[in-house]
Structure 1
Amino acid sequence: MRFGPTPRGARLARHLVAVRLDEWGFPHDGDTAGTVCLLVAEPAANAVVHGRVPGRDLAVRVSPFSPSAAPAVLRAEVTDPRDERRPSPVPAAPAPTDESGRGLLLVAALADRWGVCGREPGPAPGKTVWAELDLR
């Protein structure tokens, strides 16, 4: 799904991911949906603030992976057009008085795996922040 690079676009991304997860059998009020929505919301908010290029959308993809019929992993990806502004693989803790800077710490704490890679597919510049949640 593609969204405008605005706070409204980031909120809409989170909402539509919740709808899609509900369609897949992960209810809105369940732990899995709440966690995956956060794994989308934080990178989407960062994309709006740090990865925004006027006129270029951010993209969100949530996909189930499984060697069998039921998904074993849910993967969330948020892609923005700014390749040069990649987050650190080990997020730094903000000062106690800082009002922001905790989003990727939440992603690191809640995801079973997460990282950053170049934009896929194609030659357009950008990066993808991804996070995976193992379904238990």
Structure 2
Amino acid sequence: MNAEIATPTSTPTPTVTFAQRLSPTPRGARLARRLAAHQLAAWGHPYDSDANHTAQQLVAELAANAVTHGRVPGRDFELRLTLLPEGTLRIEVSDARGDRQLRFVTEAESGGEGGRGLILVQLLALTWGVSERGVGKTVWAELRLKERYS
């Protein structure tokens, strides 16, 4: 594991970031959710807070998509959490596959058990989107962190 925690001092709006590369497996997706819960607790948002629960759900959906649809053999996916100064959490999940388009499930398709992850992301996140990268894509979501405990 190669965790990266940094606090840049040269930027005008300082942020705190946690990043971790994970194996593109169901175990890696579960670990992403647990790491996010732990990191938010360390940043002052306890495990049982609404903010932590919502962040866990967003990470779970984005990581599951990366493992299910963005997997490239031999390539990890990355979870990045950025705590922005205005009280917003930016969640980014990057995978190595850039050739798949994200789409919502229609009502006719929703008879199965899967396929509603991005609808949940849209409902839970303040905003979300997809960014291209050199190899693959990054799906990101932002969440407003309302409460903070010391």
Say whether 1:55 aligns with 2:74.
yes
The structure with more radius of gyration: 2
The answer (yes or no) to whether the contact 1:115–1:131 under 8 Å persists in 2 is yes
Q: What is the Cα deviation at residue 96 of structure 1?
A: 4.2
Query: What TM-score do you get using the length of structure 2 for normalisation?
Result: 0.80
Aligned match of 2:136 in 113, 119, 126? 126
Report the Cα distance in structure 2 between the residues aligned to 1:7 and 1:22, rounded to whole angstroms.
Answer: 23
Query: What TM-score do you get using the length of structure 1 for normalisation?
Result: 0.87
Partner SS, residue 46 of structure 2: coil
Report the Cα distance in structure 2 between the residues aligned to 1:47 and 1:80, rounded to whole angstroms.
Answer: 6
Report the Cα distance in structure 1 between the residues aligned to 2:72 and 2:136, rounded to whole angstroms.
Answer: 10
Residue of structure 2 in register with 1:72 after alignment: 87
Q: What is the Cα deviation at residue 117 of structure 1?
A: 0.5
Q: Which runs of 5+ in 2 are unaligned?
A: 1-19
Q: What is the Cα deviation at residue 93 of structure 1?
A: 3.4
Say whether 1:135 aligns with 2:142.
no
Say whether 1:104 aligns with 2:118.
yes
CA-based RMSD: 1.3
Partner SS, residue 78 of structure 1: strand
- Matched residue count: 126
Residue of structure 2 in register with 1:117 after alignment: 131
Report the Cα distance in structure 2 between the residues aligned to 1:56 and 1:127, rounded to whole angstroms.
Answer: 13
Q: What is the Cα deviation at residue 18 of structure 1?
A: 0.5
Report the Cα distance in structure 2 between the residues aligned to 1:129 and 1:96, rounded to whole angstroms.
Answer: 22
Q: Which runs of 5+ in 1 are unaligned?
A: none
Task: For 1:10, give the aligned amino acid.
Answer: A
Report the Cα distance in structure 2 between the residues aligned to 1:96 and 1:54, rounded to whole angstroms.
Answer: 29
Task: For 2:105, give the aligned amino acid.
Answer: A
Say whether 1:42 aligns with 2:61.
yes
Report the Cα distance in structure 2 between the residues aligned to 1:134 and 1:17, rounded to whole angstroms.
Answer: 15
